[in-house]
Amino acid sequence: MLHHLVSDIYFWCAWIIIPILFEIIPAVMDSVILLVKRSLLRETKPLSFIPTITLMIPVYNSEKTLYRCLESVARSSYPSDKIEVILVDNGSRDNSFQMFQKAQVDFPDLPMWWIASKQGKSKALNKAIFNSEGKYIMNIDSDGVLETDALLNAVKKFENNSKIDCMTGVILIEPQLIEKTENFFLHQFRKLEFMEYCQAFLAGRNFESQFNSIYTLSGAFSMFRKSVLLKTYLYNTNTICEDTHLTFQMKTVLHRRVYLCDDAVFMVDPIESVNKFYTQRQRWQIGELEVAHMFMKKKMKNPLIRFFTNPELRLIMMDHTFAFPRMIWYFALFALGCINYKFDSILKAVMLIYLLYVFTCFLYYLNILTFLDKFKDLKRYYAQKLGYLFLMPVFNLFAFFVRFAGIINSITRKASWKTYTLTEEYAMCEETVKQDFHFLFRFRQVVSWLLEKQPETPGESLQTEKGKKLL
């Protein structure tokens, strides 16, 4: 009895140490710090002067979403005559320009400019920066809508704190579009995606902002002090993660802090399918590693020195490195089951970790509710999703596997906007397995033929030669 008890204790300690050290404990610490931050928050002072801002919107085949995006800008609480909107088209082949023209007619008080560019998103954004006149430059994607006070809240942060030079906004999934989803499975998946975005920005990046450890100014909604932005190399054209690269420039080259503006919200469309989710997260993962590699070797003879002196680089690399022990943990549990290890011990360990994950999600849930006080509709919608906390560990596990696949693919594949979908990679894997097993089957046939054949004549060499040809 005692022997079994000691064995179980050893097992539990061995298997739960990795998730507890790398995920559970940091999550609890994050939650406590965020609660303290929330209690110390003070209302920002109203603006005594309304500066002109430039809003950059990259456009590529945005016919279905562009008008809604421009409509949200026009209905913003920030004065329309103080907003300069520059739309940079990256070779659209649909009716995006017609939607722009319609918005010009419907919102005559909103100054809007259309710039054609066919040289990629990064060059398009750089072109808009050089043509901008605003004191602050902000960029949003064309497939989302601004919350009414998003621009005003962002400018307030800038004007009330001269030390703030760049910020990332809060990106959330638009609840109305989630509820319009007819497919049951996709509907649930999108709700979990909404919960994940809330955790990532209102909890994760909120915590990172306190320690200046944000490593990506989200391309969907970011804001800059123009005078500081022009001191960088602007958006890099050699990577698909140009937002991460610009963040590294801000922090590594200019030594500026990156903040989260937690009351500036931008609502994006929910993911179209699981395949789109897979390609999106793969692209992010491969792109981040590509940027990390750039800064590892740039102007540094010894990359290890840069690793230990650059906190953002260290955060990305360590985060990706720790993915491997987590993956080993998952596969080891499966392997133990295959060798008939005590099922009840495995089940107890998995259930304990699952409940700990749910507990951390609940702590984040409480924090996020407090940060959504200003947004009553969003808070009400999020509060109704309490039951989904029990599904979040499963969703996060799936996202982790996608992320890990991105790490593996980054070894053999250059970052690109064209990424294989989950269906395509499954088909490729299936074909590889079939070919491998076909080879093994043919090999087994040849070996069996050689063993069964008992050559008694000088023709033995000829038969052996036939066997070699079959191989």
CATH for 183? 3.90.550.10
Q: Per the domain annotation, does 191 fall within a domain?
A: yes
Q: Give the C-alpha separation, 356 to 19, whole Å.
A: 9
Q: Per the domain annotation, does 427 fall within a domain?
A: yes
pLDDT of residue 471: 45
pLDDT of residue 446: 64
Q: Per the domain annotation, does 88 fall within a domain?
A: yes
Beta strand 144-146 with 136-140 is unpaired
Q: Per the domain annotation, does 185 fall within a domain?
A: yes
Sign of CA dihedral 393, 394, 399, 403: positive
Q: Per the domain annotation, does 408 fall within a domain?
A: no
pLDDT of residue 244: 87
What pLDDT digit, counting tens, does each position of 246-286 carry?
998 998 889 999 999 999 999 999 999 988 898 888 888 88
What six digits make up the tokens of 199? 């955790």
Are 303 and 438 in a shared domain?
no
Of 266, 289, 317, the position where a domain reaches its end is 317
Name the residue with higher pLDDT: 121 or 96: 96
What pLDDT digit, counting tens, does each position of 157-205 carry?
999 999 999 999 999 999 999 999 999 999 999 999 999 999 999 988 8
Of 268, 297, 317, the position where a domain reaches its end is 317
Q: Give the C-alpha separation, 382 to 377, whole Å.
A: 9
Are 106 and 236 in a shared domain?
yes
Q: Per the domain annotation, does 253 fall within a domain?
A: yes
**How large is the C-alpha radius of gyration of the chain?**
27
Residue 300: is its pLDDT beyond 80?
no
Q: Per the domain annotation, does 391 fall within a domain?
A: no
Q: How many CB atoms lie within 10 A of CB 65?
A: 19
Domain count, the chain: 2
**Burial of 321: CB neighbours in 10 Å, binned 0-12, 13-18, 19+:** exposed
What is the residue-averaged pLDDT of the chain? 81
For the entire predicted model, the pTM comes to: 0.80
Residues of the domain holding 148: 42-317
